Structures are given as structure tokens and as C-alpha cells.
Structure 1
């Protein structure tokens, strides 16, 4: 993480700031917010992530404002979903997104996951490029969230 930024676990107190970040980025790309289903996790970060064996982390700037987020939500034996990886537009191009993704993959391995999946919208071109560059491969899931039109997965290296 660049020096003026901090990565830390999110708490329930961060829910509103994370929702503001995520919903504003979605609006920038004309993607629909869905607080009753796809985005319900943003109203209970601890319950949807840490309490289920995953994690949800935020990036803060020097003033302590949340400017980025990423979550790992368990989905079954060895499988997690990379969720809510968003970065405020003002902070893109500084290497924060790449550092955030690498952090998430390292945490996924440490938490015992062997595969990471994600759903995204093709309109999020920068994110799609970053995922593909990190080795994620496209696949066809049984179901995608309403605003998503692409799914990716990455098998994590095993520590044998």
C-alpha cells in the first residue's frame, strides 16, 4: 500500500462510509444499487464476512477517510467470493487497487481458501483488466447478480 494509505479490517461503524463509496462508484458507471439482495452485505459487514470465516477490509487516506474496500465471503469448502472491491476514482492509478487485490489474494490463502471467484460488470474495464492480469479466468456461473455480466475465478497456489 502506498505510504499515505492504511489498510485495516472494517468494523460495523464503517458500514455507512463503505456504502457511500460503493454506491457512488456504481452510480459513476450507471450500475444499479441493490440494497435488498446484492448489496445487503454492506449493512452488516462483520456478519457477512468475518463471522462467516472471511474478511472485509478498507483502505483509508491520511485523514482516515475510507477510499477503498474489498471483501472475501466464504461460499463453500475452499471457495470464497471476492466482493465489493471498489476504489474512489480520485485514488485510481496509484497502485492502490493492485495492492488491494494482492492483499485479498494473500488473505484468501491465509484463510485456507483454494479458489477465489468474483462477478463483475464488463463496463468496469480497469477492474476487469486488473483481474485478468492477476490470472483470473472467465467462466460461466449458474447465476450472476443482476448488474454483473462476467464471472471470473482463480485457483490459489497450495502450500505443499
Structure 2
């Protein structure tokens, strides 16, 4: 099966929400469409127009298999958001591909620091972040479903 990455549009919103919410439910986490997940209501405004990006991994038949967003926090910092992968697409190195793509896009957009918040129940994601050098930190606040935060300083070797 071939997979391609492309920028998401607002036309992808329903498919993106379905994927994100189904993965959250799979891990016992509650979607929050009016809070933490309200950025999905208008992908263009929340990400692309705000200086970030939101990309999707698409399968042969056009189904959305993965997502990765970069939300601009400041001129130098972005937040890695909504990195999710459909169950059918796991175990194929696609999570690594999404993360590497996100880090390369962050660098290309001029960000030098990537932060993220996650739930420790997402063990596979946490292990992936740690393998790529993300380090824990304590932010001012965490999203309700998150219990840990990480940061990564981007260097030319980080995204090489």
C-alpha cells in the first residue's frame, strides 16, 4: 500500500476528526471538540493561516490514516499537535514518518523549538518522542486529557 503526505484542508475536517476521536476513544481518552480539539473546526485558520501546518497521511483509496499538526506558539516555537495514526496503519514505521515529517516541516518553517503535550497512556507515542530526543518539562498548564509535556530543541542534526 502506498501512503502520501499532504496538507490538510477544511474539506478533510470530518475525516480528521473521525480519526483523532477514534484513536482517543481507543485509549480511553475523551474527545473535547469544544476545547482541546476545537482547532479541528477550522484547520486552515488554526494552523496554515496562523503560521503552522497540518498534514495528513493518506492511503491508496484516499482514507486519512494519520495526522500531524504544528501550531505556532511564537516565532521560534511550535506545538506538535494531533499526531495520531489509525490502528490499521500502526507497526509499519508510519508514526516515525509522521514525526520526522513534522520535525522537518518545523525546521523549514523556522521554528527552533517543538513542544508537545500528551497522555502517558499513549505509550507508543511517548516512546517515539523520547527516542527522538524530546525531554520532559513542566508547562504553565496542560490540556485536560494530558499528563505530561515534552520539548525538543531543533538543530541541523535533529532533522537531518
> Where does residue 77 of structure 2 map in the other structure?
79
Counterpart contact for 1:71–1:83, Cα < 8 Å = yes
> Where does residue 28 of structure 1 map in the other structure?
26
Q: Which runs of 5+ in 1 are unaligned?
A: none
Q: Which runs of 5+ in 2 are unaligned?
A: none
CA apart distance, 1:77: 2.6
Q: Which runs of 4+ in 1 moved over 3 A?
A: none
CA apart distance, 1:45: 0.5
CA deviations over 1:31-70 (Å, ceiling 9, x no partner) = 0111111000111101000001100000011111001000
> Where does residue 139 of structure 2 map in the other structure?
141
Distance in structure 1 (CA, Å) of the matches to 2:118 and 2:99: 14
Q: CA RMSD in A?
A: 1.1
Distance in structure 2 (CA, Å) of the matches to 1:77 and 1:144: 21
> Where does residue 101 of structure 1 map in the other structure?
99
Taking structure 2 as the reference length, the TM-score comes to: 0.96
